[in-house]
Structure 1
């Protein structure tokens, strides 16, 4: 089977690892040439989560694929809006708004995230717990 830039599985790319979980970037300029957005599969360990942060100049879409958690998105006036989320829930994070995710379940939480424009995920490389995880056998 010939590799195609149109069909990418998480195990085909190196993942960004963190103390709370990982991001396998499956679409973006450096993965398959996508120019206007980037995204991938995020896995959040039970009890784990990423702290409050934002992506200056970028919007984000988060789709909860599996697991349960608590999501915070900053409102237009800076007030944090929090809600319990689970499979099928889509979260919209407006441009530059602070947000955080916490896995409140006992199983890994799986998310599909999309950034527009592409690029905010590159700043993750500057975090102190960042590491590149090796490719998984697929």
Structure 2
């Protein structure tokens, strides 16, 4: 694997009941120190529940598919918007948010976390399982 040019199937993916995350830019992948990033795959009708990343900001960019993105404001009031290809969503530091695929096709979402690290907490999720890159080749 070339550490500068990484495809989602080149790395072990984080699997969940709602989809998977391929970290394509992270300390263990290519030595990234200031941020981490990857591609999230969400099947139709699925999504991740309300959560936050304490101390970190997040950028979400919708590559493919349609869904709903919820972000809570500073007072904790949720705001939900329809999102689709080309939409960039900024999640302020420590803010609660959730994503739901409301379309009939899989969603592909590019995410960036800064600083690096909040994605590692996902390993503690009860439905977490590692999907080896060898299982993804040809997917």
Question: Scaled by the length of structure 1, what TM-score is found?
Answer: 0.96
1:4 positional shift:
2.4
Specify the alignment match of 2:11 in structure 1: 13
Which deviations, in whole Å up to 9, do the C-alpha atoms of 1:49-95 show, x marking residues without a partner? 00000000000000000000000011122111110000000000000
Q: Which residue of 2 aligns with 1:126?
A: 124
Q: Which residue of 2 aligns with 1:70?
A: 68
Q: For 2:61 and 2:21, how far apart are their aligned partners in 1?
A: 14
Give the superposed CA RMSD: 0.8
- Number of matched pairs: 136
Where does 1:1-138 land on structure 2 (aligned, <5 Å)? 3-135=1-133, 136-138=136-138
Looking at structure 2, the residues matched to 94 and 76 of structure 1 have their Cα atoms a distance apart, in angstroms, of 9
Rounded to whole Å, the distance in 2 between the matches of 1:137 and 1:65 is 21
3-state DSSP of counterpart to 1:17: strand
Gaps of 5+ in 1: none
Deviations 1:9-28 (A, max 9, x none): 11100100000100000001
Q: Which runs of 4+ in 1 moved over 4 A?
A: none
